[in-house]
Amino acid sequence: MEKLRVGIIGAGRISDLHALEYLANPRAEIVAVADMVAENAQTRGRAWGVPAHAIFTNYHDLLALPEVDLVEILLPHHLHYQAVLDAAQAGKHVSVQKPMALSVEQADAMIAATQRAGVMFKVFENFIFYPPVQRAKALVDAGEIGEPLSIRIKSNAATSPNAWQVPLAAQIWRFDPAQNGGGPLVFDDGHHKFALAWHFMGQAEAVHAWIGATEVFPGAILDSPSIISWKFANGGVGALEVVYSPELVLDTQHYAQDDRIEITGAKGVIWVTRGHGKMLDAPPVVLYRDRQTRTFSDMPVGWEHSFINSTRHMIDAYFAGAAPSLTGEQGREVLRFALAAQESARLGQAVTLAKG
């Protein structure tokens, strides 16, 4: 059986979730890993069954391996641009963690490089593959709530005794706008939320953002509390509220955070009641229309399933010769959305997203 042979560049905490489907899918295998921290590369490499000769601290060595078909780039955001260019030049198919870049200009260059090389280019966005979100989208597409008129997203960072233990060194760069592109919640995690808004209702036409600041430890500023609102070209509206509640304890096996989504249509409303974790003791998807409430619980709800589904979709696309999701162009649209929020907060006024 032909297999998609994958090299993983960046073996930090999140790589555990990216690896799941590659390890389980009979049509894929992890054949190489690179991380500048030798311990990370060795630990993950051994766990994934990577031979010792294909474990590196320099990703250029990984790119030189002829047996690597595709690279999964899981580096800090400011390193995405060069890594994608290098991978494309090496003739490798590319999946890069969101956000794809720090600017639209970088995104354009990355898209152009992968097109010239004739390789697949995926911007890895997992939230649109989260099973409750997939069910909500199917309900919307089936006309259950009529034309969508608005989307509201609530993102609540908190604390949990079961949360992932992420080394401090792996957190620090997220608080540096030069490396992250913005803040940890509105720009980094916010990409998921802007992608959700785009997924359900299309690209925003105008964005207004107020981005707050909370010092969580000396020198580390969290971009919370914040609120971002936007208008769609069809007249619909949306909003994202981001809050850090330091004394709020929730259940999670991953980041100490949870999310809720509300989509209002012309004749009904859909709620997705969870995301990273579990805060509400409620079905994951709720639909109201025609004076009746229906609930949907027949789906996996662990956050890891969003990674599994996103990776599986890409493996299927690779073998079918189809486009992945997100494509580079779609990732660029979500990036424009996220950057508009940053610009609006800096200017203190709404920002219009020009077409293209």
For residues 28 and 100, membership in a common domain is answered with yes
**Who contacts 36 (Cβ-Cβ below 8 Å, separation ≥6)?**
57, 58
CA distances from residue 328 to 81, 100, 119, 220 in whole angstroms, order as listed: 12, 8, 11, 31
Question: How many Å apart are CA 351 and CA 230, to the nearest integer?
Answer: 9
For residues 24 and 99, membership in a common domain is answered with yes
Contact 295/286 with Cβ under 8 angstroms? yes
For residues 139 and 245, membership in a common domain is answered with yes
For residues 213 and 75, membership in a common domain is answered with no
Residue 315, in any domain of the structure: no
For residues 31 and 114, membership in a common domain is answered with yes
Contact 184/223 with Cβ under 8 angstroms? yes
pLDDT for residue 355 = 75
Residue 269, in any domain of the structure: yes
**Who contacts 321 (Cβ-Cβ below 8 Å, separation ≥6)?**
none
**pTM higher than the cut 0.85:** yes
For residues 194 and 289, membership in a common domain is answered with yes
Cis, peptide link before residue 326, omega less than 30° from 0: yes
Q: End of a domain among 89, 124, 159?
A: 124
CA distances from residue 119 to 27, 81, 219 in whole angstroms, order as listed: 19, 16, 41
CB atoms within 10 A of CB 339: 23
CB atoms within 10 A of CB 266: 11
Domain region containing 211: 127-301+337-351
Residue 82, in any domain of the structure: yes
pLDDT for residue 1 = 76
Return the half-sphere exposure (C-beta side, CA atoms, 13 A cut-off) of residue 163. 17
pLDDT for residue 342 = 97
Token pair in block for residue 233: 């070209």
How does pLDDT run along the chain (356 residues), one tens digit per residue? 799 999 999 999 999 999 999 999 999 999 999 999 999 999 999 999 999 999 999 999 999 999 999 999 999 999 999 999 999 999 999 999 999 999 999 999 999 999 999 999 999 999 999 999 999 999 999 999 999 999 999 999 999 999 888 777 778 899 999 999 999 999 999 999 999 999 999 999 999 999 999 998 888 899 999 999 999 999 999 999 999 999 999 999 888 999 999 999 999 999 999 998 888 999 999 999 999 999 999 999 999 999 999 999 999 999 999 999 999 999 999 999 999 999 999 999 999 997 76
For residues 118 and 197, membership in a common domain is answered with no
pLDDT for residue 311 = 98
Q: How far apart are the first and last CA of the chain?
A: 41
Question: How many Å apart are CA 29 and CA 318, to the nearest integer?
Answer: 14
Token pair in block for residue 20: 């799941």
Cis, peptide link before residue 225, omega less than 30° from 0: yes
Query: Domain count of the chain?
Result: 2
Give the chain's count of helices (H) and strands (E): 11, 17
Residue 306, in any domain of the structure: no
Place of tokens 């078909």: 69
pLDDT for residue 21 = 98
Per DSSP, the residues of 113-153 read HHHHHT--EEEE--GGGSHHHHHHHHHHHTTTT-SEEEEEE
Nearest partner of 113 among 126, 130, 96, judged by Cα: 96
For residues 79 and 136, membership in a common domain is answered with no
Residue 324, in any domain of the structure: no
Place of tokens 């025609």: 290
For residues 142 and 252, membership in a common domain is answered with yes
Residue 32, in any domain of the structure: yes
CATH of the domain at 342: 3.30.360.10
pLDDT for residue 283 = 97
Token pair in block for residue 106: 């970088």
Collapsing DSSP to helix, strand or coil, 76 comes out as coil
Q: End of a domain among 124, 149, 179?
A: 124
| Host H or E run for residue 294 | strand 292-296
Q: End of a domain among 91, 124, 157?
A: 124
Token pair in block for residue 175: 């608080």
